Amino acid sequence: MTVKTRFAPSPTGHLHVGNIRTALHNWMFARKHGGTFLLRLDDTDTERSKEEYVSAIRADLAWLGMHPDSEERQSARSARYEEKFAELKASGRVYPAWETAQELDLKRKIQLGRGKPPIYDRAALDVSDDEIAAYEAEGRTPHWRFRLDHDGPIVWNDLIRGEQKFDPSLLSDPVIRREDGSWLYMLPSTIDDMDMGITHVVRGEDHVANTAVQIQMFEAFDAPVPEFAHEALLVGTEGKLSKRLGSLGVSGFRERHVEPQAIVALLARIGTSDPVEPVTQVETLAEAFDFARFGRAPARFDEEELAQLNQKIVHMLDHEAVRDRLPEGMSAAAWDVIRPNLHHLGEVDGWWQVVTGPVSGPDLDADDSDYLRQALSALEDLSWSDTIWKDWTLVLKESTGRKGKKLFMPLRQALTGLDHGPDMSALLPLIGRDAAIERLKTSIS
């Protein structure tokens, strides 16, 4: 069997972190097994689906390094859905239901009030021809339901949750088509998975009941049933579902200068028994991907953990990987010096200005002013080399008697405007002789 997975977003908005995780796991599972990964745009909601969201979904996946092997759109498959719907009608597996939304809501409230589960009572199966004629005279059109087979439980072995068993008599016959003829999620998704040869469906645990229904749909078409993996949902650091997780998307990550490798490294591992590590090669993550490592507990998404992971990954990136995002003129040597001080790449311009200037010197007391005058004189007399910082501070230590912080800190502050940063032995050669002398002169003027 050749593995084929799919990511099937509705282009009615931007991808959020939960969508990204689902896409990633489908993509990684396909890559591990030498299979294919399909992007399927579930765009049957013509009012809410927008081309701008289609473009954004493609761009977001590309930025994260997930390139689909193929793409399909449900909006191009209406004729196929009609064809398969007609088969279900002919076999008696779908039926029209005439209740209004208000009538169905009232039924549910009555059932709940009696302590019963709000399951559809199949009243539509007993509607007479005269009643149908009366409904049609009112201008009503029916919605359509898939008739579940109550003969035995629905059972499957979930790749994450283990054996799953549903009693179909405790499920409502799902609505598959609205009164206006538009499709709901269930049937088109099943037909697509069947036609497109999807072997594994990876999605959130909120779809478990949908899977029970769709298994019967596959069987109604006498089609192979894919394997299913239902992941625990993401939660925030407080252990609750967070509204922020529902809105945190690629644009937000990019605005905060989060590297795509950090997002991938975190979402690949949270919710599993594997440690979250700063891995920059997605192939390494894909090789170790295994649904047996996934737990049933909610997967905790911690933005602070992402920030720390991002910092570690930035420190691992070589110059070639970031060259097109660095300030003009920043060499590989300069990147190596500045990189260890970055939390994220958005800080690189500020650190490059420390090298190129201008910088604001410190407010000096008389003692430090005298010290910097001696430092300026000593620097002007020294030969410039890659060991200039060591040579310079050794001379000053001997001539002034200063040591430790009193020796180094006034020099750092005068040359960089800061009291922290890269090792001065690496930074001073980047600043250069003329700029260093000018900054010392400015500090004591």
Binding site residue list for ATP: 243
Tell me the sheet residues that pair with 95: 145
Tell me the H-state helices in 270-365: 282-287, 303-314, 319-322, 332-338, 348-356
Residues 10 and 57: their CA atoms lie apart, in Å, by 10
Structure tokens at 184: 């709901």
H/E element, 23: helix 17-32
Q: CA-CA distance, 223 to 259, in Å (whole number)?
A: 42
Q: Quickly list DSSP for 231-264.
A: EPPEE-TTSS--TGGGT-BHHHHHHTT--HHHHH
> DSSP E strands: which ranges in 320-440?
none
Q: Cα dihedral sign for 158, 164, 169, 171?
A: negative
Note whether 220 and 148 are within 8 A (CB): no
44, 318, 344, 410, 417 from 351: Cα distances, Å: 49, 17, 12, 19, 11
Inter-residue contact 15 to 23 (CB < 8 Å):
yes
Helix axes 433-444, 424-431, angle to 10 degrees: 100
Phi and psi of 29, rounded to 5°?
Answer: -65, -40
**Residues tagged in the binding site annotation:** 243
Distance CA 254, CA 57 (A): 14
> What is the DSSP secondary structure assignment for residue 92, as one 8-state letter?
T
Contacts of 31 (CB under 8 A, 6+ apart): 37, 282, 283, 286
Q: For residues 96 and 124, what is the distance between their CA atoms, to the nearest angstrom? A: 7
Backbone dihedral region for residue 9 (phi beyond 0: left; psi -120 to 50: alpha; all else: beta)? beta
What is the spatial distance between Cα 186 and Cα 210, in angstroms, rounded to a whole number?
7
Q: Which residues make beta-bridge pairs with 177? A: 144, 183
Element (H, E) at 382: none
* Cα 273 to Cα 294: distance, rounded to the nearest angstrom: 6
- Residue 359 near residue 342, CB atoms below 8 Å: no
